[in-house]
Amino acid sequence: MAVERTLSIIKPDATRRNLTGKINAVFEDAGLRIVAQKRTQLTEAQAGAFYAVHKERPFYGELVSFMISGPVVLQVLEGENAVAKHRDVMGATDPKKAAPGTVRAEFAESIEANSVHGSDSLENATNEIRFFFAETEIVG
């Protein structure tokens, strides 16, 4: 296994309920290190471009609206096998299907307002990190 970096987003449903610290504790307890973090309000253009892979899906418009409905916390997480480890502790997209103890099982409100985003491959992680962070903002 190699040390990897992955992109995490704490979504507006979670920042609204003041859950940043509780979610960060799940990541840190899993051995992931937060090596960059910034709270921001995404623009419609940023959210639309970030989720462009989902453009053809029926929920795309609602997803973009949701992602700009409040602040998000953008993060780079680092650790052994970080991409898969992060996906594991996030849980399934649909919180009803997420394993107990995962972030989505504990905190998500719905399949859309599901509290967190995580890159789904190392290649996407690299691109998603670059979308939001300059190399100088990441301190390992």
State in angstroms the smallest separation of the CB of 57 from ligand ADP: 7
Sign of the dihedral through C-alpha 8, 119, 5, 125: negative
Q: Choose between 47 and 76: whose C-beta lies nearer to ligand ADP.
A: 47
Which residues are CB-contacts of 95 (< 8 A; sequence separation ≥ 6)?
104, 105, 108, 109, 110, 111, 114
Concerning whether 117 is annotated as a catalytic residue, the answer is yes
The item of Mg ion, ligand ADP, none sharing an interface with residue 59, based on CB under 5 to 8 Å by kind, is ligand ADP
Per the CB < 8 A criterion, the answer to whether 36 and 133 are in contact is yes
Residues 114-133 within binding reach of ligand ADP (CB under 6 A):
114, 117, 120
Number of neighbours of residue 101 by Cβ within 10 angstroms: 10
Q: Choose between 51 and 137: whose C-beta lies nearer to ligand ADP.
A: 51
Positions in the binding site for ligand ADP (CB under 6 A): 54, 59, 63, 93, 111-112, 114, 117, 120
